[in-house]
Amino acid sequence: MKLYKFILAAAFCFSVIGCSDLEENALSQLEPDERSLDLQTVETTIAGAYGHLSARAFMSRALGLTLMLRSDMVDIGNPSTNAERIEHDQFTLSASNPLILNPSNPERSFWPRLYQIVRGANETLRELDVLEEQDPGVKEEIAARARFIRGFAYYHLVRLFGDIPFLDETTTTAVASIAERTPVETVYTSIIADLEYAKEWLPDSRVNRALPGKSAASAYLASVYLTRGEYQKAYNESTDIISKKSTYNLDLEQDYRNIFHAENTDLSLEPIFVIDFVGTNVGDESRDYLAAFTGFFQQATYYPSGGWSVMVPAQAVYDSWNDGDYRKEVNFDNEALDNAGNVLAYTDFSSLDGRNTNRPHISKYTAMAGDLPQANTSGRDSYSNYQLMRYAEVLLIAAEAAAELGFSGEADEYINLIRERARYGDGTQAPSAIPADISGATVEDVLEERRLELAFEQKRWYDIVRRDLGAEVFGPNGFETELQGTQNFDASRDYLLPIPPLEITNNPSLSQNPGY
């Protein structure tokens, strides 16, 4: 697995050079049929597309900050943090927010980075078209990887921005520069087609789950169907994965903590698709920034340099989580060691540094970085894996779809598998009574289980959007009522992000989302 990381790192360094807007090709770039191509060249191109996943513009920093802070689970801790983050947290977003697109540093923004993933996938497909014949299935498997990651990138883009410019391998540079926004339904049709192709041609299982197998394509298909409210299809797809878990080499990890243990997760069957960090600072890229953003200053529990107290759960998130649920222990730091070895309760975290907020902090990412001896510089230089899709989420997709279809007994079954795991903790003590098994699960029950099981894994904002929960979760009974900014939420504006103004300037065919 680690060898592939360095291949990705090299491809990543190459892939960030070039245009970062919507144009498919730099003007000086030769078309595939104008240059010599071999299989290794094509593999480098597709590796470059996947290399963008470990960029700071993706989950590690720009997009990760956006998804976490816009949810009802995470709030700003340090009030002096950058305004670009506070805007997302308090729903005062400016159209020119640099996390979305920073004209002076586009490689650090997620709009251009997601389109670079699309570009790499499209370039791979163009190269495959002119590549000489290979052994049966070789070109199809590479195309499946390309179409999977293209569908994956568009799945983020369409949920974040709604109608978006859609570019595929047939799009020319001239067309890309004047592309209009493509309707959501059309984009989803392409996403589904890409994932279906990937499911057909990818292998059943991978040792390295930074590469997709059939289960990854199928799991994202199930997620897409759930997002679209196509519950029968979501049920069929997710239960098909469950029935084939042996074929796909999947199962629940016995110890929930091991999913977020930098070394033990490599041995787990639960991950389906992950970001596999290099553990090396490549131009301030491929670094574990979530560890820094969720840790806090002068906290030495995991490593001496602590973090930045930026993404911190609202107090009510911690208080409302039942004690005895092992997942609470794994997800939160409610005390910490300082560099002198003293134990401090969360009510005293600000005594370490005035920028720390006195609330329990997220421990998933700081503990994961702390599992590794080289974790330093606030935990950023670690080679941890980020879970993008895991088997527990497939069970919860099946549970939600089953509840929608009236199969509450099946919904109970899938939820209770997850709850049983939580009750057994790390397996060294007698099982807890919490969380108890559920009976007669409703859709609301499943959404609550998703909130807990997938806490701080960048899923909650998408759940709020697809279920139109904004008025409820940011209202007077939400978690963040004591914190500034939730009253700013406007459902007519805030479910979608703004199209970057620079893109509209460069391409007058584009229009802006309402409210920006």
How confident is the model over 266-291, as pLDDT tens digits? 999 999 999 988 767 777 787 889 99
Rg (CA), the chain: 22
pLDDT of residue 287: 81
| pTM of model > 0.85 | yes
**C-alpha span between 71 and 444 (Å, rounded):** 17
pLDDT of residue 385: 87
pLDDT of residue 504: 96
ω into 435 cis (within 30 of 0): yes
Neighbouring CB atoms inside 10 A of 431's CB total 12
User: pLDDT tens across 13-44, in order?
Assistant: 444 433 335 544 332 344 665 567 899 999 99
Helix axes 39-51, 138-161, angle to 10 degrees: 20
Strands (E), 240-310: 271-276
21-52 residues labelled b (16+ CB within 10 A) or e (exposed): bbbbbeeeeeebeeeebebeebbbbbbbbbbb
- Measuring CA to CA, which residue among 1, 17, 5, 54 is closest to residue 380? 54
- Measuring CA to CA, which residue among 488, 485, 407, 472 is closest to residue 442? 407
pLDDT of residue 446: 98
**C-alpha span between 17 and 337 (Å, rounded):** 42
Neighbouring CB atoms inside 10 A of 496's CB total 17
What sign does the CA torsion over 325, 328, 331, 337 have? negative
What sign does the CA torsion over 418, 420, 424, 427 have? negative
**C-alpha span between 177 and 509 (Å, rounded):** 9
For the chain, give the longest Cα–Cα distance: 66
**C-alpha span between 41 and 124 (Å, rounded):** 9
- Measuring CA to CA, which residue among 1, 121, 10, 117 is closest to residue 57? 117
pLDDT of residue 35: 63
pLDDT of residue 347: 97
**C-alpha span between 272 and 209 (Å, rounded):** 6
Q: Which residue numbers in the chain have pLDDT < 50?
A: 1-20, 23-30
